[in-house]
A and B are shown apart, each in its own frame.
Chain A
Amino acid sequence: MPLGVYVQLLASGLSTGSIYALVGLGLMLAFKGTGVLNFAQGELVTLGAYTALFLSLTTSLPYWAIFILTILVAGVVGIVFERLLVRPLMRAPEFTVVVATLAVGLMIKDALRIAWQESVSSIPSPFADVSVRFGDISINAQYLWVTFCALAIMGMLALFFNNNLAGKAMRAVAQNQTAARLMGIRVNRVFSATFALSSAIAALAGILIAPIHGIEPEMGNVLMKGFVAAVLGGFNSLVGCVIAAFMLGVIETFGGAFFGGLFKDVTAFALLILVLLVRPNGLFGSAEARRV
């Protein structure tokens, strides 16, 4: 194969990985902040995509306005999700919460299936039909845009958690709620903010993936890949999650190109098992908790 094809596969793989990274980051964020493994995270991606689709069908707003509005709506969805589901179950056993989020995820998925009879649809993106040329290699601009967004979110989160008092307060709540309260930190507000952020990141993934893979009720199944990336990355490190997600996306894409589409998922999970056999704490995790 010519070099150009490899580069295009790489770009496509990185953009796929970027989506996994965003899903993984959202999962990790909610888990670290509140101890809840949110199995509805995938459906938050779906909801984000449908919100954008709804806005693009019912209004004549430009891409950027839809982009920002969708993320704001997703933030509110996250807050409602936390209030109605997570907070009342905060004192329940962990499995109860996990099952509850799983159930809500399934409900969202089926509700969308019932409400939205059209098959796959998409939202227009100004990047989707543009190619960026490097010499005689051309790459779809949407791939670059998706990858850029994932890296930007990672950078913003790292800055937020390491250099901002509110971000540090979030980490403090994750480590010792009682002590955080004794510092005057409003734990409930931090929980709301955590889910708002997590849901906003999920919606971003939804908007970004829509022009590439289309919008349909099943798109939330990307949850598993995000989960794999987060675990591979050690479930504690933002950078680890993103690198693992990139690896996953790239290996999958090349695997799919060389051995056929069915090979994709096999690679992801084989990689997970292999890595965890050798490094039980993930590629970038260590036995003791690490800083982000």
Chain B
Amino acid sequence: MLEVSHLTAGYARTDVLFDISVRIDAGGFVGVLGSNGAGKTTLLRSISGLTRVSGGAVLFDGKSVNGLAAEAIVDFGLIHVPQGRMLFPDLTIEENLQLGSYRSGARSVYSANLKRVEHYFPILSQRKTQRAGVLSGGEQQMLAIGRALMAEPRLLILDEPSLGLAPRIIDDIFDVLTHINAEGVTILVAEQNAMKVLEHARFVYVLENGRISHSGPSEELARSEAIQKSYLGLA
């Protein structure tokens, strides 16, 4: 479904990603593991069109999305939940969800998707008319994911959904992601939380200093000494 090949990308003067190749098949649940500054956000932003790619290719369903604007890539059903959630703080929860289904392909399935979101995150339906800005961190992350679900994603890419959340909430969120994935939504999640990624994703890429240093099925990586040492805190 998504194929990133030999991608080089970065900001004004410096590239921060080098020769990245990542592949996700339809229905997959793939993780990108990396510590602070490894380049996770830059990778996801390159995929969703927010950051300009300087080399290599990003193919979605075999078609190149290089050079397309982020707002156009959304129309393919490639939906990005950015780091820091980026909600619309002065809009209500309901309005945030409505804007999730702004893209033309999602409007006709608004009610079905709203049901789905309220099923996964009942707290959102109880607080519909409140401003998104007053939500707690965990609730905001739920709303960010809910808003993305409203867009009828085919591929959902999430940037550190566990950031700053309590372990119990992180568990809930990854459980929901697993359910969504079982419903047929392909998922790519970037995380520092190695434990969660290795537990839920089926295939994981490890990003270090802008390069892929390891990759493989989760069970395999979880057994690797290098990964245990640097990411799981095991000696």
A: residues with CB less than 8 A from B are 165, 168-169, 171-172, 175-176, 178-187, 288-291
Contacts and interface: CB of A to CB of B under 8 A. Distances in A.
Closest 4 CB pairs of A and B: A184-B103, A179-B86, A184-B74, A181-B70
Contacts of B86: 176, 178-179, 182
Contacts of A178: 50, 70, 82, 86
Contacts of A185: 71, 99, 102
Given A168-B95, A168-B98, A169-B99, A182 B88 contact: no
A181 B99 contact: no
Interface residues of B, number: 28
Most B CB within 10 A of own CB, among A169, A181, A185: A181
Contacts of A289: 89-90
- Main SS class of interface, A: helix
B31 interface: no
Nearest to B50: A178
B82 A172 contact: no
Residue among A168, A187, A290 having the largest count of chain B Cβ atoms under 10 Å: A168
B87 A182 contact: no
B100 interface: yes
Interface of B: 48, 50, 69-72, 74-75, 79-80, 82, 86-91, 95, 98-100, 102-104, 131, 133, 147, 151
B70 A182 contact: yes
A168 B92 CA distance: 10
A100 to B, nearest CB: 24
Given A172-B88, A175-B88, A182 B82 contact: yes
Contacts of B88: 171-172, 175-176, 179-180
A290 B147 CA distance: 22
21 contacts: A165-B99, A168-B91, A168-B95, A168-B99, A171-B88, A171-B90, A171-B91, A172-B99, A175-B88, A178-B50, A178-B70, A179-B86, A179-B87, A180-B88, A182-B48, A182-B79, A182-B86, A183-B99, A186-B71, A187-B71, A289-B90
